[in-house]
Structure 1
């Protein structure tokens, strides 16, 4: 069996299509995950634009020396009070052409720009309008910031107003969101967060894997060797098993290499600090109590399980169709068409939506099975494991029956 698997792996890897697609996958992963660094820029205190390494070092210094620390009620109250005082001082303000009032350039670059993400995060805790720091001007500090109470109210309001959730689901999400440990610790985590925002591009790697394995069975039909293979002693058992194992082994190795590249690039360019910080500092209403590091690792696991599901469908189609091209057309339609469909619970389980990286942890999407509520992340794992368990046996059955066609 081991020799058969080696033979099938060599056969798969020697195809020109496999080599070309694999190299394209690696190149695509490098490009897509390097872009956030190449496009990253910020402004220093004097208003000069920094980019690349200089921008990263400046932003890291700001986080470490100015913003890092536990978000206690006292700290948040002090920071909001400082923000309100700056906006209440007319010497810090200027009027725009449309009559809008904003900070003067020197105040903006020295005070607001370095704290923009931080202030927007705090501001979003006070309202579901996503206006960020603008909400802070209306916060009453008579009894302190009451930051975590405000976050609680905002989450409850957001869930209660949702028309996509039933009563059981609303109770589930409220309890899950309130179970998140507080107070939060704020700090620098750009390496992890930039992977999370770009990780959806791993779907390109999954598509490439499907292109490479599409001919596994279909090519045998096209060349007429399927009948010969099936007529041999091990044609209907060991050969089929070897083909499937080799395809899964190839898919796993290519996926893991791409995933390693995808994680390594942002951590090497932006830094690996902040992996243990809570995901809420990037998305204050996130109901999942996970750190950046945990969220990233879970995303890789989810993407891998989705990949296994799609690979099993690809192998099934390859065992059913006489042309690898037909297999590719169907797989691409399955992956791409949902991108143009109206968003709903059901479409959130389809490949393109199931591989959105850490964005998955921002949504309140769930499914009811009787009285049991299953969140989107868990449901994705369940669905693609079921798909994998169903389509692999069907693949074996299809190829075995080909001798009678």
Structure 2
């Protein structure tokens, strides 16, 4: 065991000292910082004086306003938000213009009255709008008595969606019942709080995980193929532990590197995002930011599940790259095949005629990295006469193939014939 640990550290240092690894880490950090910059620069609110506020000041004001309303999103809080909106629109001095669509407030009135409720009002508009469009002016048509129908409106939208006609196949009765049962487990009234930081964080996770997966693939591509290219395979495989402990050390080093790089990248993105936006909203229902999501999870639980699924998917990509590396003699060929496998599925459009094709497409490695958005979808798989939600199938498939590929990698290098 001591020798194995020593060999593992040696192989790990080899991976870390490669220029490609250093460049990859810099790229990951740069992408995370860029996404943070784009999120912050894209924040805009209206102040009480009617002037536009952007950037960090906008985030601070939005956080203050939304957190002031933190608590249960119950009938009373929804009715109060509707009432405040209607009172503001009844004062003629607050109006900018009135059209057939609805009432438009002046900038100053919007900043004074409407901006404080913008997060709750957005949820109300989503709930009461028709299924096919978002109606910004729907609140002008509501009364405080409509507040009690908020959660029923949400379920009406879900039921309508589940009963729609889709060209690629409709939901079966069992699938409808499955998703209705999932929705029935969601705690209501929702817990509400400022959650823009978590929403931006999970939205940006997908890209950071994709870039991290690419860097992992790039960094481990030379683990075995590099030995072929340098001619060191003849020395390694003829040594005492070359066909046993050294191979295990290479696999362990790849796993440790991939794990460290993945969670380091996620931690960096999480810290810089939440340090700016704050941690409010972690205990809120995921439905606060994914309104029709069928999953009975909090925002923080969804974040953890997304990170875990992304991690297992990255391990799958690592294991595939190692298998290529063990069977190919050129690191360039390994990188080329790995990149094609990673990126090509992203350009394959969803089928308009086959749900099965779409479900299989979502089980390809690069599609697995889209961990956050799967919690917004109503997708499931039939496994041994049981219906299982998409995120759990993705995780199980990725883990299964990861564990299956590693023994093949071990034996491919072990039985390599030196020329």
- TM (normalized to structure 2)? 0.89
User: How many residues are matched?
Assistant: 404
User: Paired residue for 1:326?
Assistant: 333
Please tell me whether the aligned partners of residues 159 and 174 of structure 1 are also in contact (alpha carbons under 8 angstroms).
Answer: no
Please tell me whether the aligned partners of residues 312 and 398 of structure 2 are also in contact (alpha carbons under 8 angstroms).
Answer: yes
Could you tell me how far apart the structure 1 residues matched to 2:289 and 2:133 are? 13
User: Paired residue for 1:70?
Assistant: 72
User: Paired residue for 1:175?
Assistant: 181
Could you tell me how far apart the structure 1 residues matched to 2:92 and 2:361 are? 50
User: Paired residue for 2:206?
Assistant: 200
**1:184-223 matched pairs, under 5 angstroms:** 184-202=190-208, 203-223=210-230
Closer, same or farther: CA 247–365 of 1 in aligned 2, 3 Å: same
User: Paired residue for 2:162?
Assistant: 159
User: Paired residue for 1:43?
Assistant: 46
User: Paired residue for 1:301?
Assistant: 308
Cα deviation 1:40-97 (Å, max 9, x = unaligned): 23221223222332212211121123x3231111332333344355556666544489
Two-structure CA RMSD over aligned residues (Å): 2.4
Could you tell me how far apart the structure 2 residues matched to 1:356 and 1:290 are? 18
Shift of 1:335: 1.9
Could you tell me how far apart the structure 2 residues matched to 1:99 and 1:130 are? 13
Cα deviation 1:4-50 (Å, max 9, x = unaligned): 11111122222222222223223333333343124323221223222
Cα deviation 1:151-205 (Å, max 9, x = unaligned): 1211111122163432221211111012101011211122222211111122111
User: Paired residue for 1:276?
Assistant: 283
Please tell me whether the aligned partners of residues 234 and 418 of structure 2 are also in contact (alpha carbons under 8 angstroms).
Answer: no
SS of equivalent to 1:70: strand
**1:233-252 matched pairs, under 5 angstroms:** 233-252=240-259
Closer, same or farther: CA 43–95 of 1 in aligned 2, 3 Å: closer
SS of equivalent to 1:195: helix
User: Paired residue for 1:403?
Assistant: 417
Structure 2: runs of 5+ lacking an equivalent: 351-357
User: Paired residue for 2:388?
Assistant: 374
Please tell me whether the aligned partners of residues 6 and 246 of structure 1 are also in contact (alpha carbons under 8 angstroms).
Answer: yes
Cα deviation 1:223-263 (Å, max 9, x = unaligned): 12112211222111111111111111111111111111011
User: Paired residue for 2:153?
Assistant: 150
SS of equivalent to 2:416: helix
Closer, same or farther: CA 137–48 of 1 in aligned 2, 3 Å: closer
Could you tell me how far apart the structure 2 residues matched to 1:132 and 1:215 are? 54
Structure 1: runs of 5+ lacking an equivalent: none
Please tell me whether the aligned partners of residues 50 and 109 of structure 2 are also in contact (alpha carbons under 8 angstroms).
Answer: no
Could you tell me how far apart the structure 2 residues matched to 1:365 and 1:282 are? 19
Closer, same or farther: CA 225–184 of 1 in aligned 2, 3 Å: same
User: Paired residue for 2:365?
Assistant: 351
Closer, same or farther: CA 135–160 of 1 in aligned 2, 3 Å: farther
Cα deviation 1:85-120 (Å, max 9, x = unaligned): 555666654448999853333333333334333212
Please tell me whether the aligned partners of residues 98 and 104 of structure 2 are also in contact (alpha carbons under 8 angstroms).
Answer: yes
80-89 or 210-219, which deviates more:
80-89
Aligned partner of 2:235 among 228, 231, 244: 228
Could you tell me how far apart the structure 2 residues matched to 1:56 and 1:141 are? 29
Closer, same or farther: CA 247–359 of 1 in aligned 2, 3 Å: same
- TM (normalized to structure 1)? 0.92
306-315 or 24-33, which deviates more:
24-33
Q: Does 1:342 align with 2:349?
A: yes
Could you tell me how far apart the structure 1 residues matched to 2:176 and 2:313 are? 27
**1:96-107 matched pairs, under 5 angstroms:** 102-107=104-109
SS of equivalent to 2:45: strand
